[in-house]
Structure 1
Amino acid sequence: MENLLKAGDELGFNLEQALIRGGTDGARMANERNIPCPNIFTGGHNLHSQFEWAALPAMEDAARLILKIIEVGAAT
């Protein structure tokens, strides 16, 4: 989480933290092993519906964030 938040700060992203229902794998890890599993935005909207769509600029931001998380993690 520290790397995620630092990466977001370095990119100037306003990241929000909130407890939400995650995916099955993340929920299992968090519940059984007490491992945090952040849901990082992907640009998707109306998920799991017939009107699901993704915004390319948000997808690009998500990719930039993932790369920055790797960069921050490698520097520590």
Structure 2
Amino acid sequence: MATTCGALAVKILSTGLAVGIIIDATIIRGVLAPALVSLFGRLNSWIPDPVQRLLRISPIRSHTTPATPRTGQHARESSQQSR
């Protein structure tokens, strides 16, 4: 089957586009992006101070551990004091 020059160019371009989409979906978005997010840490959400003031965005707080519930002797003492 004979193809014209224009049809051949369309086939080549569509094949290249399909390969590019597959590479983007698997390698870049599935492997590279999550690896860079974990590598950069807090720099992922960095914003310059003037832009932060303009948008009125509060600074990102560091992760804090939640307060541990009181157990054992301390819990019994505080429950007896509240009665």
What TM-score comes out, normalization by structure 1 length?
0.26
**Relative contact order higher in (CA < 8 Å, ≥ 6 apart):** 1
- Bigger share in strand: 1
Structure whose CA Rg is larger: 2
What TM-score comes out, normalization by structure 2 length?
0.24
